[in-house]
Structure 1
Amino acid sequence: MKADMGRRYRLYPNRAQEQVLTRWGHAARTLWNIALEQRTYVFEQRGSTLRSQEQSRYLTAARGESELAWLAELPAQAGQQVLRHLDQAYDNFFNPALPSRFPAFKKRGTRLSVPLPGQAVKVRKTSGHWGQIRLPNLGWVSFRLSRTLGGTIRNATVSRDGTGWHIAFGIHTGRTPGAPNSKPGCGVDFGVATSAYVSTETEPRVMAPTLTKVELTRLKYLEQQKGRQVAYAKKHNGGMYSTRLRATIAQIARIKARQSNRRADFTHKLTTGLAKNHGFVGIEDLRVTSMTSSARGTADRPGRNIRQKAGLNRGILDNCPGERRRQLSYKCEIYGSDLRPVPPFHTSQTCAKCGRADPESRPGCGRSFTCVNCGHEDDADHNASVEIEARARGTGGSVTNSTRRRPTAPSPVS
Structure 2
Amino acid sequence: MPVVNRRHDGGVKADAGRKYRAYPTGDQDQVLTGWGHTVRALWNVALEQRVYLWEQRAYTLRSAEQCRHLTAARTDLDWIGDLPAQAGQQILRNLDRAYDNFWNPEHPARFPARKKRGHRLSIPFPGQAVEVRKVNRKWAELRLPKLGWLRFRLSRAIGGTIRNATVSRDGNGWHVSFGVHTSRKPDTPNGKPACGVDFGVAASAFVSTETTPRLMPPTLTANEKKRLKALEQRKARQITYTKKPNGGKYSHRLRTTIAQIARLTTRRANRRQDFTHKLTTDLAKNHGLIGIEDLRVKNMTASAKDSVETPGKNVRAKAGLNRSILDNIPGERRRQFEYKARIYGSVLVAVPPFHTSQTCAKCGQVDPESRKGCGRLFACTRCGHEDDADHNASIEIEARARRTGGSDINSTRSTLRVRVPAIGRRRMREAPKPAHTS
Give the TM-score taking structure 2 as reference length: 0.90
Alignment equivalent of 1:221, drawn from 225, 230, 236: 230
Q: Which consecutive unaligned segments of at least 5 residues does structure 1 have?
A: 403-414
Moved more, 87-96 or 324-333: 87-96
> Is the CA contact 1:180–1:337 (under 8 Å) kept in the aligned structure 2?
yes
CA deviation profile, 1:359-394 (whole Å, cap 9, x unmatched): 111111101111111111111000000010011111
Pairs within 5 Å for 1:7-406:
7-65=18-76, 68-109=77-118, 111-394=120-403, 395=411, 399-400=416-417
Aligned in 2, Cα 1:312/1:90: closer, same or farther, shift over 3 Å? same
State the secondary structure of the residue aligned to 1:283: strand
Moved more, 263-272 or 235-244: 235-244
Which runs of structure 1 show a deviation greater than 6 angstroms over 4 or more consecutive aligned residues? none
State the secondary structure of the residue aligned to 1:64: helix
Give the deviation of 1:215 after TM superposition: 0.6
> Is the CA contact 1:357–1:398 (under 8 Å) kept in the aligned structure 2?
no
Give the deviation of 1:300 after TM superposition: 4.4
CA deviation profile, 1:280-303 (whole Å, cap 9, x unmatched): 100001111111111112344432
Aligned equivalents of 2:233 and 2:418: distance in 1? Answer: 57
> Is the CA contact 2:162–2:180 (under 8 Å) kept in the aligned structure 1?
yes
Q: Which consecutive unaligned segments of at least 5 residues does structure 2 have?
A: 1-11, 404-410, 420-438
Moved more, 89-98 or 267-276: 89-98
> Is the CA contact 1:391–1:397 (under 8 Å) kept in the aligned structure 2?
no
Query: What amino acid is aligned across from residue 259 of structure 2 in structure 1?
Result: A
Aligned equivalents of 1:304 and 1:365: distance in 2? Answer: 18
> Is the CA contact 2:139–2:151 (under 8 Å) kept in the aligned structure 1?
yes
Aligned equivalents of 1:355 and 1:300: distance in 2? Answer: 44
Aligned equivalents of 2:143 and 2:129: distance in 1? Answer: 8
Query: What amino acid is aligned across from residue 305 of structure 1 in structure 2?
Result: N
Aligned in 2, Cα 1:176/1:298: closer, same or farther, shift over 3 Å? same
Give the deviation of 1:246 after TM superposition: 0.8
State the secondary structure of the residue aligned to 1:12: coil
> Is the CA contact 2:291–2:401 (under 8 Å) kept in the aligned structure 1?
yes
CA deviation profile, 1:260-295 (whole Å, cap 9, x unmatched): 000000000000001000011000011111111111
Aligned equivalents of 1:188 and 1:216: distance in 2? Answer: 30
Equivalent residue, structure 2, for 1:409: none
Aligned equivalents of 1:108 and 1:159: distance in 2? Answer: 14
Query: What amino acid is aligned across from residue 11 of structure 1 in structure 2?
Result: A
Give the deviation of 1:401 after TM superposition: 7.0
State the secondary structure of the residue aligned to 1:2: coil
Give the deviation of 1:127 after TM superposition: 0.8
State the secondary structure of the residue aligned to 1:346: coil
> Is the CA contact 1:110–1:160 (under 8 Å) kept in the aligned structure 2?
no
Query: What amino acid is aligned across from residue 75 of structure 1 in structure 2?
Result: P
Root-mean-square deviation (CA, aligned residues, Å) is 1.3
Aligned equivalents of 1:101 and 1:160: distance in 2? Answer: 24
Aligned in 2, Cα 1:16/1:110: closer, same or farther, shift over 3 Å? farther
Give the deviation of 1:125 after TM superposition: 0.8
Aligned in 2, Cα 1:397/1:233: closer, same or farther, shift over 3 Å? farther
Equivalent residue, structure 2, for 1:5: 16
CA deviation profile, 1:219-256 (whole Å, cap 9, x unmatched): 00010000001010100122111111111111101100
CA deviation profile, 1:34-89 (whole Å, cap 9, x unmatched): 11111111111111111111111110000001xx2111111000001111111111
CA deviation profile, 1:133-165 (whole Å, cap 9, x unmatched): 001111111100000001000000000000000
Matched residue count: 400
> Is the CA contact 2:363–2:414 (under 8 Å) kept in the aligned structure 1?
no
Aligned equivalents of 1:44 and 1:240: distance in 2? Answer: 35
Aligned equivalents of 2:96 and 2:318: distance in 1? Answer: 36
> Is the CA contact 1:110–1:250 (under 8 Å) kept in the aligned structure 2?
no
> Is the CA contact 1:110–1:253 (under 8 Å) kept in the aligned structure 2?
no
Query: What amino acid is aligned across from residue 206 of structure 1 in structure 2?
Result: L
Query: What amino acid is aligned across from residue 16 of structure 1 in structure 2?
Result: D
> Is the CA contact 2:362–2:414 (under 8 Å) kept in the aligned structure 1?
no
> Is the CA contact 1:350–1:398 (under 8 Å) kept in the aligned structure 2?
no
Aligned equivalents of 1:163 and 1:293: distance in 2? Answer: 31
Give the deviation of 1:399 after TM superposition: 2.9
Give the TM-score taking structure 1 as reference length: 0.95
